[in-house]
Structure 1
Amino acid sequence: MNKKAVRRTMASILSGIGVILILAFASLLMISGIFVTPKYGEPWQKDYSQKFDDPRIRLAAHGLLAANGHNMQPWKIRLDKKDAKVFYLYADSERLTKEVDPESRQMMVTQGAFLEYAVTAGDQLGYGTTVELFPEGNYDEQNLVESMKTKPVAKVTLAETKKTKINALYNYMFLPDTNRTEYQATPLTAEQINALEMINTEKDMTIKIYQDQNDKDKLRNYVINGAIVEAGVGRVMKESEVIFRPNEYQKNKYRYGFSVEGQGTSGVMQHVLQGLLTLFPSMNSGKSASDLFIKSTQISADNTPAYAMIITKDNSRSSQVRSGMLYSRLILNAHSLGLAMQPLSQVLEEYPEMKQLYNGIHHDYASNGGTIQMLFRVGKPTKEVPLSMRRDVMDLIEKD
């Protein structure tokens, strides 16, 4: 074969390989659902709540955007039939994450996060809101699931007011509540720390921010070791695996749980990764998922200028809910300061394998008998992250 023939053959082979690669790339995008309309993102649109005439549903549509454990969005709304200005918030017992949250503490924190967003929206929309926690009494802890079905977490009462000014935090509700990417090394300023710590006005709750090197090193170890423990507990990892949505079709179908954008992946790479995960689910299960979880936690911990905690005097259900309300206020104020946050909840989880680390961090940082309800990182993010899935608000409304 002469040189020209060899070159023609090689060119033909390379051309064929190129066509195959292009087809494979296009196939991944199609499998991902690149042309599918992301209905799961509609609740993030500022005009979404305007589709509803009932102001209670409008407020619920804003509460839906709040941070929540495992993105389960475990909220149920019962509209009062006799009073058009009253609704009740229930914890959705069908959306418990029993392995990672066996005491349902995170579930209660999530209820509070919803309530604070609803209150913030009420201020903006011209409705003063009164929140009464556990208006029909506390849960029966021996029959917790049944109690969640019958006893509301909160009664919310609206009162029309003359709107005199825009709520300064309202627009920040439409930003992602969690940013898991790397944060800049720049420490928080004294003014930023003061602004965040002063948000809390309740005597039985405390916000503490740590950014000296000794505390950062100690907390980093707790965070990473907590991730290592969780990654080694098969039933906990499986609980996360089953609510992972690998492509746009699944995200539109379920609209809750985890997806690749939770780690900050977006654009074309998001669809490439989604296509691969759809074709090869093992990439997000077993040892692969555990290793990825530990690695991503290490990257986050290694790029954190400050850690923060919400500590309550007791661990009552009311304190858990109120800590969630406080956490939402922190998120919105952090956004206003150009900061981002990410919960690092593993070391605070109450299943047996985590007991040693749970006791350790409480000994070191809540030795007076208090409960650390939230541990999270704070800093200036290096990049923006996509918005996570949200359900349609009408799915939260209890049907007659």
Structure 2
Amino acid sequence: MPITRRKTLTLIGGGTILAASASAGAFLTTRTPHDALAPWDAAGDYDDPRLNALSFALLAPNPHNLQPWQVALEGEDRVMIYHDASRRLPETDPFDRQIIIGFGCFLELMVLAAGAAGYTVDLTLYPEGENGPIARAVFAPGGTHDPLFDQVMHRRSCKEPFENRVLSAAHANELELFADVYTDAPTVEALKALTWAAWEVEARTPRTMQESVDLMRFGKAQINANPDGIDLGGPFLESLMLAGVLTRAEQADPTSQSFKQGVEIYREMLHATPAYAALVTAGNTRADQIEAGRRWVRLNLKCAGLGVALHPVSQCLQEYPEMAELYTRAQDVLASPGQTVQMLGRLGYGPMTPRTPRWPLEAKLMNA
């Protein structure tokens, strides 16, 4: 649950957050988890075209930053992509739909990176059936550069309130090539209410909230040790940890001041939204889900190029009993009968947010 400095100032009764000594000041100036961010700088530094493409693919957006991929190199031109079955979200994503969408993002970045390096990728999904590898990728010379690849290092999910201005018609028109874009006031207000209600359901259902809390990484040491999940780091948040205000127990307790403050932060963020983007597929097969992921990351990259912020808010698309009513409402609002809404995101203009921690490529190679 990200907490901004502006909001967290109120967490300790309006008083001083931390009585900073000289040693505390030194501590707070060195809290960037450089090891966890190193894969961003290492992207593109490999001689093998497969490793080179994979080094960009692992930067893909994925639910709760689980990074569920494992890869194996075969021969001189082939990659097999597997799902690490230990990386799932059984409470909020019981059918792995969102996880598979994340694999679609991964595959699309791999293909874009290969093309930028002059290689094509022949993808075969589920070559051994749905209980086997997610995909087989065969690399060959001859790819072309897609301009969207130029935005890979700038892509972010902006979990902050957006500016109080409408999404420009020009930007909306360009993004319509990638997703269904909603800017009209009645639909925007309906989606604000829907996304807020869905966030509350997830946050106030103990087992679904606990799933997120268990994946929180508190401070530099935890983030470097496990560069996945939900990172809570930086000098200010670590000062709250030192003060005992920001803890795992507090985040899981709906009666705590920290939890209540988080609710207000998310309320403000979700309501500061001028537009939405939705991805809808004709069916809901694994292939449909992977295609949705490929489209989602392309939308993300296009937004980065336009200076538009994008933040996924797909809680209302989750498939567990407490969310069923809102799931049905989302499908009714955003899709035609028989279709499936795969992704929903906020669109607007927001700040550039930091890079998200990643495991190094070597940690994801099954035959390194």
Change (3 A) 1:133 1:33: farther
Change (3 A) 1:360 1:279: closer
Q: Over alpha carbons, which structure has the higher Rg?
A: 1
Q: Tell me, what secondary structure is at the counterpart of 2:86?
A: helix
Contact 1:311–1:366 at 8 Å: present in 2 too?
yes
Q: Tell me, what secondary structure is at the counterpart of 1:377?
A: strand
Q: Which structure has the highest helix share of the two? A: 1
Q: Tell me, what secondary structure is at the counterpart of 1:99?
A: coil
Contact 2:31–2:219 at 8 Å: present in 1 too?
no
**CA–CA distance in structure 2, aligned partners of residues 277 and 338 of structure 1:** 37
| Deviation string, structure 1 residues 330-371 (Cα, Å, up to 9, x no partner) | 000111111110000111100100001111121222242211
Q: Tell me, what secondary structure is at the counterpart of 1:334?
A: helix
1:129 matched to 2:121? The reply is yes
Change (3 A) 1:367 1:170: closer
Q: Tell me, what secondary structure is at the counterpart of 2:341?
A: strand
> 1:108 pairs with 92, 100, 104, which one?
100
1:49 matched to 2:44? The reply is yes
1:318 matched to 2:315? The reply is no
Contact 2:73–2:367 at 8 Å: present in 1 too?
no
1:68 matched to 2:62? The reply is yes
**CA–CA distance in structure 1, aligned partners of residues 356 and 330 of structure 2:** 30
2:263 match: 294
Following superposition, the deviation at residue 293 of structure 1 comes to: 4.5
Contact 1:109–1:320 at 8 Å: present in 2 too?
yes
1:5 match: none
Q: Tell me, what secondary structure is at the counterpart of 1:341?
A: strand
1:304 match: 273
> 1:182 pairs with 142, 147, 161, which one?
161
1:339 match: 308
1:232 matched to 2:204? The reply is yes
Q: Tell me, what secondary structure is at the counterpart of 2:20?
A: helix
The answer to which of 36-45 and 345-354 deviates more is 36-45
> 1:98 pairs with 90, 93, 97, which one?
90
The answer to which of 350-359 and 36-45 deviates more is 36-45
Letter matched to residue 212 of structure 2: S
TM-score w.r.t. the length of structure 2 is: 0.88
Following superposition, the deviation at residue 34 of structure 1 comes to: 2.5
**CA–CA distance in structure 1, aligned partners of residues 244 and 357 of structure 2:** 18
1:124-203 to structure 2, matched below 5 A, reads: 124-137=116-129, 139=130, 147=131, 151-161=132-142, 167-199=146-178
Change (3 A) 1:94 1:188: same
1:353 matched to 2:334? The reply is no
Q: Tell me, what secondary structure is at the counterpart of 1:372?
A: strand
**CA–CA distance in structure 1, aligned partners of residues 247 and 97 of structure 2:** 34
The answer to which of 240-249 and 361-370 deviates more is 361-370
Letter matched to residue 207 of structure 2: R
Following superposition, the deviation at residue 135 of structure 1 comes to: 2.0
Change (3 A) 1:396 1:344: same
Contact 2:280–2:341 at 8 Å: present in 1 too?
yes
Q: Tell me, what secondary structure is at the counterpart of 1:245?
A: strand
Following superposition, the deviation at residue 36 of structure 1 comes to: 6.7
Following superposition, the deviation at residue 238 of structure 1 comes to: 0.9
Aligned length: 350
Letter matched to residue 246 of structure 1: F
- 5+ residue gaps, structure 2, are 1-15
The answer to which of 183-192 and 317-326 deviates more is 183-192
Q: Tell me, what secondary structure is at the counterpart of 2:218?
A: coil
> 1:269 pairs with 236, 261, 267, which one?
236
Contact 2:125–2:134 at 8 Å: present in 1 too?
yes
Please provide the CA RMSD for this pair: 2.3
Letter matched to residue 187 of structure 2: D
**CA–CA distance in structure 2, aligned partners of residues 234 and 73 of structure 1:** 24
